[in-house]
Structure 1
């Protein structure tokens, strides 16, 4: 058996081979992260590993840079181990000089393989990986949309500070249609009531009309907003609203694709209280394989919903906060699902109300619901059986 360790970089990787006895086979190879470099690696393996000898390949899960090389080697029929970087870091600590170079690191990774005491990064199948990538991209678009909305609010606070009293949802269809056409009080006063009413009626499907148009014009006439650079502010608002609408349409497309992928997987995740298509996709994509977790406590820790413990000497903190380690995407999805479950599912609602009756704050009670929800998710996915409401469990 021979061992090939690969130190992963953004533009270049470094590969080194050792024998079963731990002896280096020649010098390491530095190769580029492209087809030419990958071909050079194959030639390096061919020159260094005698025909008929087994070869074990290992690389660290460094960011996302390892994925193309892993895919290439996997397609070529090699068995590749993706190592948790913590494992190889521990081996580096044994070296007195603790030098950090790519050529040294690739041999250390090979040594980690040789010792065999390492944990692998679990790789999901293609459908699960698609869920994760799409769901994470969706979250980035949601954040981008939120940034645009905050910018709109910041501008309106200057030019039309009274505006937030006009609509229950500042970014609903009626409000967005108005802001694209009349972003400032000055522009609003230039439009007659009839035209404004027609704009609002079309956007709201008849819910708003002449009365709302008159209300807006009255508020605009008495606004204390700044009048300097009014056209610039209006232009900025219009572009921001257009960006929000464009991003929201992209999110809708992603939601449809996520729903199709979930249907294809035929997962029981959607039967769990508070879990919808989007949160279900995030949860499955982040967990990947539930068998990675021996018990629900590890899943709680992976989501970062386990409490931190503050202790010093004889002092032990009583208001411990969430650790917020692990996957932020999973944590957000679990939290959102817990909020819904606490309102609409009888079991989780009763549990939430019990916590509140004990004097727990809202966030603390929802945190308890979130942890209970993770235990439920763990059991449902392990057994692969739909969730059932059990108001009076046996025992």
Structure 2
């Protein structure tokens, strides 16, 4: 007997499970349970006594991270676990019962889904968010974005003091030396004056290991003087300095956390890829390589290379009917962080691999593609090659367009000679249409009164 169990996963409330046979006939439904050993054992006991474990498939939606321990529990018992996207199950539910939505109905639908859409069944073998490399790469991206936001806020606060502070701090707020200076509360020009030149020189020399010295101190003192002349006593310097210190301390703390995550990622990548396959791919660095390994998972689990490309979400959508059809933008159904890493890696890989450079040149010069569109094509090609290398456990090889093996020096010479996109064409194909903002004749609010003339009457082209 072939059985399919559909589980509607809840985060706080009990889950609901339904069991159906190969014909879609529901054997039982609405069984409530929680993710605890006692409830799972009780659920397992409800299976028919003559059912073999190899003939049981569990279908569930990946609701947040609540599905991870459930999937692991069933896999340990030899059950095949299938994850279905929420979008796909919602579409099928709308077809099955358009005006009804309940947990019990969802579990029944998931149990019948293998019969309704067998092509959409892809067994889940990984741990998902339970994979340490997957979590670490996501955490690294989050921390970097938080630090970028903090540094931008810090730069905006320094603008209140005047334009001299940005130049005095060398315009590099990501450097730990200016961050430690600001974190100490020294954005107050009065405090800078009280410290004096000698103590500031010692401060910078200690925290920069000799890289900063008297020239930087003189620039800071000049900036403090300019701020006092600009504001006099109108601005509350101590309060502003404390706000700046908070942002600087946050940036310093985030920098230390990023450093620790980088070290942990390096260890995980060395364990996952001891042969250095991902490092052999041109344009893939330490950060992007870890993201590709962590977010893609085991590439050998995909049935084909086309499935790998579809998983990335970089493939174009298709709308075809009869004799008409058109391709749209990328589906973006995959992992957003994976797409970001592939896009950045592809932009570098085309500078080192002649085959990718030739494709990029053809798309830009002959096909008239925009730079971003061409990069999506290059990214999918690069992902296909990464997956092929991973499946065969072989390193990436640089080849000319005729298939001849070449080294890095020869590859760069070939690209420079044959596949360099003209500068004027690159500028024309990399510009984007700016987003419409609020202006004198363009308003973001639809309720705002128009300031332009009425255009309700049609005119001939060129008419005054």
- CA distances 1:20-74 after superposition (whole Å, capped 9, x unpaired): 55444455222234x2xx422422442x333232362332222322112222333
* C-alpha contact (below 8 Å) 2:292/2:341 kept by paired residues: yes
In structure 1, the partner of 2:137 is 135
Which residue of the other structure, out of 312, 319, 338, is the alignment partner of 1:330?
338
In the alignment, what sits opposite 2:84?
84
Residue aligning to 2:50: 52
Deviates more, 1:370-379 or 1:350-359: 350-359
CA-atom RMSD, angstroms? 3.6
Output the CA distance in 1 between the equivalents of 2:222 and 2:190. 12
Q: How far, CA to CA, are the matches of 1:388 and 1:152 in structure 2?
A: 45
TM-score (norm. length: structure 1): 0.82
- CA change 1:112–1:278 in 2 (3 A) is same
Question: CA deviation digits over 1:273-316, x for unaligned, max 9?
Answer: 122222111101222132455665654454344467899xxxx9
User: Does 60-69 or 291-300 show the bigger shift?
Assistant: 291-300
- Structure 1 distance, partners of 2:4, 2:318, is 42
* C-alpha separation in 2, matches of 1:225 and 1:188: 15
What SS does the aligned partner of 2:16 have? strand
Tell me by how many angstroms 1:329 deviates. 0.6
Equivalence for 2:451: none
Quote the residue 2:182 is aligned against. 179
Of structures 1 and 2, the one with the larger relative CO (CA 8 A, separation 6+) is: 1
Match 1:194 to one of 198, 222, 235: 198
State how many pairs are aligned. 386
> How many angstroms apart in 1 are the aligned matches of 2:106 and 2:285?
44
SS at match of 2:32: strand
Question: What residue is the counterpart of 2:266 in the other structure?
Answer: 259
Cα offsets for 1:118-163 (capped at 9, x unmatched): 4125332699922111111111111121221122122112234432
Distance 1:95 1:366, change over 3 A: closer
2: distance between equivalents of 1:157 and 1:268? 46
Q: 1:140 to 1:189 in 2, by over 3 A?
A: same
Deviation at 1:338, TM superposition (A): 3.2
The answer for the alignment partner of 1:234 in structure 2 is: 241
TM-score, length-normalised on structure 2? 0.71
Q: Deviations over 1:81-107 (max 9, x none)?
A: 223135544542443554211112212
**Contact persistence 1:158–1:225 (CA under 8 A):** no
User: Which of 205, 222, 226 is residue 218 of structure 1 equivalent to?
Assistant: 222
Contact 2:68/2:128, CA 8 A, preserved across alignment: no
Post-superposition Cα deviations, 1:316-366, rounded to whole Å, max 9, x if no partner, equal 999x86665422111221233234445566776787688777897765665
2: distance between equivalents of 1:187 and 1:91? Answer: 66
- The answer to whether the 8 A contact 1:8-1:59 is kept is yes
Q: Gaps spanning 5+ residues in structure 2: where? A: 405-464
| Shift in alpha-carbon separation, 1:356–1:206, aligned structure 2, 3 A | farther
Query: Is the contact between residue 61 and residue 84 of structure 1 (CA under 8 Å) also seen in structure 2?
Result: yes
Mean CA deviation greater in 224-233 or 205-214: 224-233
1:283 to 285, 292, 297: 292
| Residue from 143, 156, 159 that aligns with 2:158 | 156
Partner of 1:13: 15
Deviation at 1:268, TM superposition (A): 0.5
Residues 81 and 124, structure 2, Cα contact 8 Å, conserved in 1: no
CA spacing shift, 1:307–1:4, aligned 2, 3 Å: closer
Note the C-alpha offset of 1:214.
0.7
Question: Is there any run of 5+ residues in structure 1 with no aligned partner, and where?
Answer: none
